[in-house]
Structures are given as structure tokens and as C-alpha cells.
Amino acid sequence: MKGVILCAGKGTRLKELTKAIPKCLLPVYDKPMIYYSIEKLAQAGINDIIIIPNYDNEKLFRKALGNGDKFGVNLSYVVQYKTEGPVVALSLVKGCFYKKNIALLFGDNIFQDSLETVVKNFNGGAHVFLKKVNDPERFGIAELSKGKILSLEEKPEHPKSDYAVAGVYLYDSKVFDHIKNLKPASNGELGITDLNKVYLNNDELNFNVLQGYWVDAGTPDGLCSAGILSKVYRP
């Protein structure tokens, strides 16, 4: 399995903080945010990882992370020149990871659980990670019944459950074929929820409920919480 970490977002929810520093390089307790994603992938045995920054930030990421030696992984970089969403970003690595299973992480998601067992046991289709939240209208939401996902909704006004879909996904090698057949949403972006629905409709979508903490660190409150939790629960 290969790893992809998305870091091309502008970080607008963090307002003044991201005017000088890219979101995924902001500190979370004692290290840059993106270190957590790289370390999670490395701990799961994923050694080939592509970082996807935007054009303005590429040099900063290369300077901060290098070729991955200090993490014990191989890092490479693919630039997303336009802000067209996570699915378009994922499609950019097709030439590098075609016919490979993919672990896709949003660089601003900080979480406690290990990915090692799920990665080791991954057997095709797609796998998502869920977490109960108090504000489900902010996230993609999974409706569950009898141990299966019934439906997926993106930031619903009236959520059918309080299980948010975290920015951590495993996809089989068919993901690039599925992306090719997706149609953009009204905002012009290809949505990650729409991609996951393809697997759901094919009865190929599995899930875990995260047991430890999970934080969307892309907001001021989330960034603060991520730092505190990372300190308190550090092994």
C-alpha cells in the first residue's frame, strides 16, 4: 500500500495563522501538523508517500520534510495547482501509484488510533474511519445499521447520525477508474463523499469506528485541541 497526504488547501478557516505558514506546517504541540500523518503511515508499514501541496507552498514542504529520511520513509511531491478538491488531488498520483492500493490522509486530521491492523488486513474495496461527534452537520456523515453503512451525506443540514467520516481512507487500485467516472458537484469540485458512495453502492465500503481521539485541526479551536490531546496522550 502507498500513502498520499493532502496539503494543498489554503487553510482559510485558520484565518491569520496561514498567511505566513501553510496549514499543515503549523505546530501541533511540539512538531508540524503533517508529521503526525507521516508517522501514522510509517507506523502502518507504508514507506512510499506522496505529499500534495499547492504551488505556493511546495518549496516550504520540501525544506521541512526533505526526502523522508528522518521518518524512515520515501517522500515525493506532486503539486496541485488549482484548488479543485481532494478527489482531483488524489487523481494526480495515478501515474505514480497506478494499480496500487492507497492510504489517503487529510493533512489536517490528527488522530490517535493506529492504522497498522486495518492496513495489514485490507483486502480491496474502500475503508473509512468514523468518529462520533457533537456537531455532525460540519462533516461527511455515515448512517449505520446492523454493522453496515446505509448512506453517506456531506455536511447535511439534518444529519441522520452523529458518525463523522474522518479524513482517513483506504482505497484499492480501482479508485482511479472510479474517479474517472465521477461528475463534479455544483461548486466544480469532485467530492470525497461521492467517491465513497461509489464503493458503497458496489457493497465494497467497510469501516472502523475510531476509539481514540480524532480532531479536525483546520480550525482555531481544532488546532488548539489537537495540541492538547497530542501532549496528554503521547505514548
> Looking at residue 230, what is its pLDDT?
98
Mean pLDDT of 37-49: 99
Mean pLDDT of 130-144: 98
> Looking at residue 186, what is its pLDDT?
66
CATH number at residue 173: 3.90.550.10
CA distance 227 to 36: 11
pLDDT digits (tens, 9 = 90+) for 173-199: 999 999 999 987 766 678 899 999 999
CA distance 104 to 49: 10
Into how many domains does the chain fold? 1
CA distances from 27 to 9, 111, 157 (A): 16, 15, 32
Domain residues for the domain of 64 are 2-232
Judge whether 26 and 32 are in contact, CB under 8 Å. yes
pLDDT at 67 over 70: yes
> Looking at residue 97, what is its pLDDT?
94
All three cell numbers of 35, joined, read 508529521
pLDDT digits (tens, 9 = 90+) for 80-91: 998 888 999 999
H-state helical runs in 17-57: 33-43
Question: Could you tell me the pLDDT band of residue 71, with boundaries at 50, 70 and 90?
Answer: very high
CA distance 91 to 123: 21
Judge whether 66 and 140 are in contact, CB under 8 Å. no
> Looking at residue 144, what is its pLDDT?
98
> Looking at residue 184, what is its pLDDT?
78
- Classify residue 142 by burial, with Cβ atoms within 10 Å: 0-12, 13-18, 19+: buried
> Looking at residue 210, what is its pLDDT?
99
Q: How far is CA 66 from the centre of its chain?
A: 21
Q: Of 106, 112, 133, 104, which is closest to residue 214 (Cα–Cα)? A: 112
Mean pLDDT of 12-38: 97
Residue 97 sits at φ, ψ, to 5 deg, of -120, 25
> Looking at residue 108, what is its pLDDT?
98
CA distance 68 to 74: 5
pLDDT at 58 over 70: yes
> Looking at residue 150, what is its pLDDT?
98
Residues above pLDDT 70, as percent of the chain:
99
Mean pLDDT over each residue of the chain, to the nearest integer: 96
Quick check: helix, strand or coil at residue 65?
helix
